[in-house]
Amino acid sequence: MFNKRTLAIIKRELKMKLFSKSFILMTLLVPLFMVGIFSIQYFVQSMSEEQRSDLIIISDSDEILNKIQSEIFQTAPFKSGDLTAIFEKTELSDFPSKLKEIKPDIISQKITGVVFIPSTSLQSKGVEYYSSNPNNSSLFYKIKPSINKALVEIYFAGRLLTEDEIKFARKDVDINGYRVSSDEKVAQEGYGNRIAMVLFSFLLYMALIFSGSMTMNAVVEEKSNKIVEVLLSSASSTELMAGKILGTVIIEVLQMAIWLSPVVLLIFTSWFFIPPELMPQMSIGFIFYFLFNYTLALITYVALYATVGAIFDNPQDAQSGVWPLLMLIMIPFFIALGMESNAQSTLAQIASLIPFSSLIVMPARMILVEVPLWQILLSFAINILVLIGIFKLAGKIYRIGILLTGKKPKWSEVFSWLRMSS
């Protein structure tokens, strides 16, 4: 299968693609696109934080009002002017009419909202918030600690507790995740690996679909161009398919390596600053594993895409024939994303071992948790067996499909090709 003809085909693929505008654009644009997405998210978040909030804080208790006022005045948003607050004392029974009075201001957004802290909150810690946008978490983030602190301090004030005891009671539980792995190193873990998992899975998903579609279109074009018969008078269909797939694999792995290089530099050098909680914990070995796994995934999926290309003789029909393949990539991708909450669930374990899905789920799982070596090796063995099987089946269908033109074949016909001798 690997000989001078395969090599000639690989060389042509490299020459045509590596210097093509689309390859250069993709290579440069994808990292920019990624950075762009994260920046937009960050930007949107910071925008919402900078938004000014004007609150009316109402209580039936002077004590509560005074305490909260002094707490809120000390907060950074208040000092910077992002938050203004008017404090009003209103009896419990008068609150509904008060609210009615303020309602037009809330609707016209003259004020952001009304916080109602009744004296009963000293027992229940129940606080009411009235606004046209009551789910504004960035606002809660600004005022919640002050309200909590004030209520706790009033509650314990008569109970002869020390300042430290009150501080402790006020404090929320803080769960820090520490990753326990077999190499005796216990590392504190932030969001870094979760972000990395989404990023790597997305790259894998996008690159597989993109390179698969490109190969499929190239095969359809060769077929509709009629060049394929000239090629087959020199090389066998297996050589042709292998050359095409390997050419694509080399280009795509190179592209992936380029895409991952910023991540590698980020993790293994101190050239860039990134908050420690966002820093992913992974070894250089994982990057190599990821590229190797990507190579297997590419061969498997590109072979399937090339086969679909060989079955049809125009891009429209090929697009309609490609959906089973899309499912084979999309379902594992969503399983991988869903694994963020628990990468050790039974579904995650099974999905990381079964054919096709393993290629996408296993690397994602490995970013989140330490996967036992036997599972990694088993998934390798399964993937390689599947790859060999796919190559054989694809070769058969490719050989017959590639010279057929005219009527769009039915799937039942395609399956019957598998039983043919050639």
Our CB check for other proteins shows the closer of 120 and 405 to be 405
Q: Dump the DSSP string for 251-305.
A: HHHHHHHHHHHHHHHHHH-SSS---GGG-----HHHHHHHHHHHHHHHHHHHHHH
Least Å from the CB of residue 308 to other proteins: 20
Nearest approach in angstroms of CB 18 to other proteins is 14
CB-based contact 249:306 (threshold 8 Å): no
Distance of closest approach, residue 7 Cβ to other proteins, in angstroms: 9
CB 410 to other proteins: min, Å: 12
* Tokens linked to 384: 């390689």
User: What angle do the packed helices 21-50 and 237-268 form, to 10 degrees?
Assistant: 40
Question: Could you give the angle at the alpha carbon of 86 between the alpha carbons of 80 and 90, nearest 5°?
Answer: 155
Q: Are strands 128-131 and 177-180 parallel, antiparallel or unpaired?
A: unpaired
User: Site residues (CB under 8 A) for other proteins?
Assistant: 4-5, 8-9, 11-12, 15-16, 222, 225-236, 403, 421-422
Compare residues 139 and 241 and give the one whose CB is closer to other proteins: 241
Q: Checking DSSP bridges between strand 83-89 and strand 113-116, what pairing results, if any?
A: unpaired
Distance CA 9, CA 245 (A): 10
**Residue 246 Cβ vs other proteins, minimum distance, rounded to whole Å:** 15
Q: How far is the CB of 267 from other proteins (least distance, A)?
A: 39
Which residue in this structure is represented by tokens 């694999």? 249
264/420 with CB nearer other proteins: 420
Q: Which is nearer to other proteins, 142 or 244 (CB)?
A: 244
Query: What is the spatial distance between Cα 287 and Cα 80, in angstroms, rounded to a whole number?
Result: 44
Q: Which is nearer to other proteins, 378 or 403 (CB)?
A: 403
Q: What tokens does 11 get?
A: 């060389």
Which DSSP string do the residues of 69-107 spell out, in sequence order? HHHHHTSHHHHHTSEEEEEEE--GGGHHHHHHHHHHHHH
Least separation in angstroms between CB 390 and other proteins: 21
**CA dihedral of residues 267, 271, 275, 280 (deg, nearest 10):** -10
The nearest distance, CB 225 to other proteins, in angstroms, is: 4
Q: How far is CA 39 from the centre of its chain?
A: 15
Least distance in Å: CB of 230 to other proteins?
A: 6
Residues 6 or more apart in contact with residue 228 via CB below 8 angstroms = 222, 240, 402, 403
307 closest CA partner among 204, 235, 212: 212
Minimum Å distance from CB 12 to other proteins? 5
Q: Which residues neighbour 311 within 8 Å (Cβ) at sequence distance 6 or greater?
A: 318, 321, 397, 401, 409, 414
Task: Note every long-range contact of 153-156, with CB atoms under 8 Å and residues 24 or more positions apart, other chains counting.
Answer: 153/67, 154/63, 154/64, 154/67, 154/122, 155/122
